[in-house]
Amino acid sequence: MKKLAPALIIAALAMLPLIGLNTYLLHILIITIMWSIIGMAWNLLGGFCGQVSFGHAAFFGVGAYTSGILYHKLGLSAWWGMPVSIVVVALFALVIGFICLRLRGPFFALGTLAVGVILRITAENLTGITEGNLGIMIRERTWVDKTWYFYIILTLAVLVFILIKKIIGSKLGYYFVAIREDQDAAESLGIDTTFYKTIALCLSAVITGLAGAFYTSYMGYIDPKVVFALHDISIVVIMVVMVGGVATYWGPIIGSAIMVLLAELIRSIPKLGAAHLTLFGLLLIVIIIFLPNGIIGDIPKLKRLLGFRKSL
């Protein structure tokens, strides 16, 4: 049963458009799946390999701008951004890794945060290539209907999920977790920690970049403040993983569903909209204090807490 669960969930999701969801619900689904992908990518680097990144917007943004620039400057379809961004983002990740991976723990986190901000400012100022704050508009939309976007992002999500599961069960996965648990021990056991951290970073970055490239095609408009956003991307992806469950397979998916629904809920209540960051921040604080390993990671703790309440 447990083995079949993923297949059943995917099949159920794939059927959804057939029953005629309205555009809004389909949009929510697409965004949720996109965030699960970014969350899975972050989790590979942060949760499994222990390198917490505060700058994943950098990779999302580079992916998004790869699509945007291919369309805007070279007149190609923005969809070419997806394959091309793999190469571009991987190169970026190599450079960023060279700089930031010499830092450990929180200092790595802040290094990546700085990189994210540098890229945003660069995109704002290099108007000749990025159009700066005007942003890039994709004028010809591939489909008016959202169904195909849904299938594309769902396929990508399934592939990423399988890829990560394969990686974690292999030598790479063992090395990533060993690095997270104790970098000195890992190094002395013959693990080239710099090399494997770079691999984790590149994989994570490329997956995030793919989501970014998809975002450009799907939303049809990007600007530096949106795709390189510190709070709305780099921090939200951390929340997605923290809420769902660090270093779990399903955590990012659960986390993304909760975060997207929560964001929509807050937006729909008129007076609350302005306070959405306060509520997100409070949620983050509460999760860190009470469920530091997320909903999936702390299932035993949750069960205990709920069971305890029942017995009262």
196 vs 214 by CB, closer to another protein: 196
- With 0-12 CB in 10 A as exposed, 13-18 as middle and 19+ as buried, what is 72? buried
Which span sits near another protein by CB under 8 A: 48-56, 82-90, 215-223, 253-261? 48-56
Minimum distance of another protein from residue 262's CB (angstroms): 14
- Give dist(CA 309, CA 312) in Å, integer: 5
Indicate the residue type of 189.
L
| Contact status, residue 54 vs residue 109, Cβ threshold 8 Å | yes
- Give dist(CA 100, CA 201) in Å, integer: 10
Count of residues of this chain found to bind another protein when the rule CB under 8 A is applied: 66
Minimum distance of another protein from residue 80's CB (angstroms): 29
| 312 belongs to the binding site for another protein (CB under 8 A) | no
Report the site for another protein in 84-113 (rule: CB under 8 A). Answer: 99-100, 102-103, 105-107, 109-111, 113
CA angle 55, 159, 88 (to 5 degrees): 45
Report the site for another protein in 52-81 (rule: CB under 8 A). Answer: 52, 54
| 166 belongs to the binding site for another protein (CB under 8 A) | no
DSSP state of 1: -
| 125 belongs to the binding site for another protein (CB under 8 A) | yes
| 38 belongs to the binding site for another protein (CB under 8 A) | no
Give me the torsion for CA of 270, 276, 282, 284, rounded to 10°: 140
Which one among 159, 170, 261, 303 touches another protein, defined by CB under 8 A?
A: 170
Distances (CA, A) of 296 to 130, 192, 244, 245, 267: 40, 31, 6, 5, 26
How many CB atoms lie under 10 A from the CB of residue 221? 14
Minimum distance of another protein from residue 47's CB (angstroms): 7
Judged by the rule CB under 8 A, the positions of this chain that interact with another protein are 46-47, 50, 52, 54, 99-100, 102-103, 105-107, 109-111, 113-115, 117-118, 121-122, 124-125, 169-171, 174-175, 177-178, 180-182, 184-193, 230-231, 235, 238, 242, 246-247, 274-278, 280-282, 284-285, 288-289, 292-293, 297
